[in-house]
Chains A and B, each alone.
Chain A
Amino acid sequence: MKENIIVSPYILADIKKLNEAGATSILVGIDAFPFASTIYVSHDELQEVRRLTKALGMNLYVNVNAFFMECDLDRLLEELAFIKEVDVDGIYFTDLAVYTQASKLDMTDLLIYNPDTLLTNHLDVQEYLNLGLQMCTLASEITLEDIVSIASKVQGRVEVIIHGRLSMMHSKRTLLTNYMKFIDSEHKVYENKDLYLIEEKRDDHMPIFEDVSGTHMYTGFTLASFEEMEDFVGAGVHDFRIESMFYTIEELCRIIKDYRYVLEHPESGRALYQEYERNQKDRNITKGFLYTKTGAKK
C-alpha cells in the first residue's frame, strides 16, 4: 500500500506539482468557513479541484475545522450537503456539531476528526473511530512511543502530522489588531503571514497570524520526522500530513519528495534529518515532542 501524504496547496495550480512530488492527497479550506488553511476555495473551485484530483488519482479532503456558533448550523448543513455532492474523499473537522450535521446527511464515514490536542491515547481514539469516522488525527504533543502504542492498538485509521510548524494556539480574539490599536500603530497585521513573536527571555521565532477566524500561533520549531517514518509505518500508520503553512511551493515539493524517498529508503532518514537541521537553521528543525514527554511539571 502506498502511504498517503496529505498536503495543502497555496494556489490551485500547485496541485499538479504536489502530485508530481509524491503527494497523494490534497487538503483545502473552503470560503464558507475559513480556518487556518493555506487556501480557501469557492464552490466552483471545489468542483474544479475534484475533477483535477480525480484525474491525477489523488484524494481530495476539505478542511471544515472551524468552531461553529448556533447561527452557523443551518449553513453548515448546506455546505456539508454540497461537499457530499462534490464527492470529496474526506472532511477534517474539530467541532462535533459537524458530526451531528453529517449524521443527518448519512456522511459520517467521510469525517476525519482533527481536534489538535485531544487525541492522546488509544482508548479515546478508538471511541471516536467507533462512531464510524474515516480517520482520527493524533495530537502532535505526544511521543513516538505513544504514537506507536496508539496506532498498534486501535482498529481503524489514524493520521500523524510529520512535518512543519505545529499549531500552538487558536484564539477567536483579534489579538494582533487589538495590540496594534493599543500601541497606536497602523502596521498591517491582518492576514499578514510574515509576523512572528519572540518571548522576551527566549529565542524561538513563533509565527503568528490573524484572519477572519481569529489568531493562530505556531511553534518556534519545525517538526521533521524523517527518522521515525519506519516506526510509524510499522505500527500501522499510513496517513501522514505535512503542514504546508510557511513554505513556498518549491520547498513543499522538496519536503514531499524527501518523505517519499524515506518511505522507500528508511535508512536515509537520519541523514535527511541532519541535512535539514544543518541547512535550515532559521526554521529550527527539531523532532518536536517525539522524544520529549510533557507533564504537569517541567
Chain B
Amino acid sequence: MRKVELLAPAGDLARLKVAVRYGANAVYLGGKKFSLRSRASNFDIEDIAEGVQFAHAHGAHVHVTVNMLPHEEDLEGLEAYLKDLERVGVDAIIVASFHIMKLAKQVAPNLEVHVSTQHSSTNSGVIDFYEKQGMNRVVLARECTLDDVKATMQHAKLPVEVFIHGGMCISYSGRCTMSNSMTLRDANRGGCAQSCRWKYKLYDKDVPIYKEDHLFSMSSKDLNAMRFLPELIDAGVASFKIEGRMKSPYYLATVVRSYRKLIDTYQETGQLTDADFDWVVRELAKAENRLTGPGFYAGLPKMEDHLYGVNGAGVSQEFIAYVLDYDQETQMAKLEVRNNFKIGDEAEAFGPSLDNTNFKVDTLYDEDGEIVDVARNPMQVLYTKVDIKLQKHDMIRKVMTKREKVY
C-alpha cells in the first residue's frame, strides 16, 4: 500500500524530537522570521539545522513554515533566509505569499514549496494553478467535506495534504482580520489573538437576542478526523497534518502515537475497527483539553460542533515524568519530573515502542539518594524502581478519572 505521511507540529527542538520518536514521518516548524504563530517558540537557523539532522537520521522530513503574508517592511532578508533553509537541508517550506513561492523556486530550487492552508484551497482548479506555477504540494482548506476531498483528489495534479487533528479556524484561513481589528494583532503575521473564541452579545437592531448565561461565541471544537482516515488514505491524500505548534510534548507524543497506530494498522490490515478507534478515543482523552469533532468532513458543522458555554473537556490523565534512562538490571528508572506525583500513585507508562502499561509509583529517590515523598519540582531528576522494561524517551502519566469520552 502507498505510504502516507503523518505530519506533526514542532514548537521547538525538544518537541521535534518527540514527534519524530513517536512516529511522525515529517514535522513542520516555524523559523524566527516569516512565520505565523509568533507565540510558538520558533527556531533559529542553527536549531533548524539540528532538527533537520535529527529528523533525517530518523528517516523523517522537515517542513518550515514561511507562511507570513509580508508587509512592505517584512521583505528584507527573505532571499538569504530561503537559501539558508535550503543549505541546512530543509525538505519543504509551507508558504502563503505568492511572491515567496516564486522566489523560493528561483533562489532555493531544492526546497519543495507547499501552498499553505492560508490560501483556503478547496478544489483541483486551484491545484492546477499551483502545478503550473511549479509548486509541489497544496494543503487543502479545512472547509472541505470528505466528499469534497475525494472529488478533488480525482483531478489533483499535485500531492495533497489535509488536516487530521487539532484546532480549527472559524473563518476561511487567512481571510480573518478579527484579531487585527479588535486587538491590532495581525493574524496573518503571527499575532492571532483568537478573538473568535471570545464571548459576544448579539443584537437585532437594538434588541438583545442572546442569552445572558450563554453569550454568542464562534469557538469551534477541535478537529478529530480519525474515523475518516481510511477513506482519505484511499482517496490518495499524501499527508495528514496535526495542528498545534504550541501544544506540549506530552500532547504531541500522545496524538502522534495515536495516529501512527491508526495509519499503520490500516496500511497493514486494510481496515480499522471500532476497537482501534475506541483505543484512540481513550488515549486522546488523556492529553486533550478541548472537545473535538469531525470538522467539515461530515458536512457543514452543526450546533454540536461548536463550543458553547464550555471551553475545555479536562484531561483524564496527567503527564508526570519523562524517562531519561532505565537500568534493566536494577530496574531503576531515571525520571525528569513534569507534574506533581507521589509514592503510591497509580501511573501509566507509554513510549514509542512501549504499549500503555500501568504500575504503582515505588519509593522515590533524589540524586543524592535521599527519599522524596512527593515529586513537586518540575525538571527535578528522581529515581524509582519500575518493573516494566522502560526505555529512554518513554513517558509516564498519572491515572485520573476526569473524563470518559472525547467524541
Contacts and interface: CB of A to CB of B under 8 A. Distances in A.
Interface of A: 67-73, 76, 95-101, 115-118, 120-124, 126-128, 139-142, 145-146, 149-150, 166-176, 178-183, 185, 187, 189, 192, 194-200, 202, 204-205, 208, 217, 219-221, 289, 292, 294-298
17 contacts: A73-B125, A95-B120, A118-B96, A120-B70, A121-B74, A140-B177, A150-B72, A166-B181, A168-B177, A169-B171, A172-B296, A173-B218, A179-B306, A182-B303, A182-B308, A189-B204, A192-B204
B170 A169 contact: yes
B216 A123 contact: no
B129 A171 contact: no
A99 B188 CA distance: 24
A294 B202 contact: no
Given A122-B72, A200-B198, A298-B184, 8 more contacts: A70-B148, A97-B122, A121-B72, A121-B97, A141-B188, A150-B72, A182-B214, A219-B177
Contacts of B123: 68-70, 72-73, 95, 97
B123, B186, B195: residue with the most chain A Cβ atoms closer than 10 Å: B123
B205 interface: yes
B210 interface: yes
B257 interface: no
B99 A127 contact: yes
Contacts of B184: 292, 294-295, 298
Contact of B181 (A73, A171, A220): A220
B158 interface: no
B288 interface: no
Looking at chain A's contact residues, is the secondary structure mostly helix, strand, loop, or mixed? mixed
Given A69-B122, A217-B178, A96 B129 contact: yes
Contact of B177 (A169, A181, A298): A169
Contacts of A183: 210-211, 214
Given A120-B71, A120-B188, A192-B204, A69 B38 contact: no
B38 A73 contact: no
Contacts of B38: 296-297
B74 A95 contact: no
For the complex of A and B, 10 pairs with smallest distance between CB atoms: A97-B125, A70-B151, A296-B38, A123-B99, A294-B186, A100-B125, A296-B190, A197-B200, A296-B191, A96-B129
Interface in B163-213: 170-172, 174-178, 180-186, 188-191, 195-196, 198-205, 209-211
A173 B209 contact: no
B152 interface: yes
B303 A178 contact: yes
Interface in B47-68: none
B229 interface: no
B196 A100 contact: no
B72 A70 contact: no
Nearest to B36: A296
B172 A67 contact: yes
Contacts of B89: none
B74, B195, B200, B296: residue with the most chain A Cβ atoms closer than 10 Å: B200
Given A95-B123, A127-B102, A195-B203, A178 B190 contact: no
B2 interface: no
Contacts of B199: 199-200
Interface string B207-233: 001110011111010000000000000
A179 B188 contact: no
A146 B72 contact: yes
B98 interface: yes
Contacts of B99: 121, 123-124, 126-127
B314 interface: no
A90 B239 CA distance: 38
A128 B148 CA distance: 27
A298 B211 CA distance: 31
Contacts of A68: 122-123, 125
B126 A97 contact: yes
A151 to B, nearest CB: 11
B171 A187 contact: no
Contact of A198 (B195, B203, B300, B305): B203
A294 B189 contact: yes
Contact of A118 (B174, B191, B209): B174
A69 to B, nearest CB: 5
Contact of B71 (A121, A180, A200, A297): A121
Contacts of A123: 75, 99, 103
Contacts of B303: 178-179, 181-182
B117 interface: no
B141 interface: yes
Contacts of B172: 67, 170-172
A149 to B, nearest CB: 5
B69 interface: yes
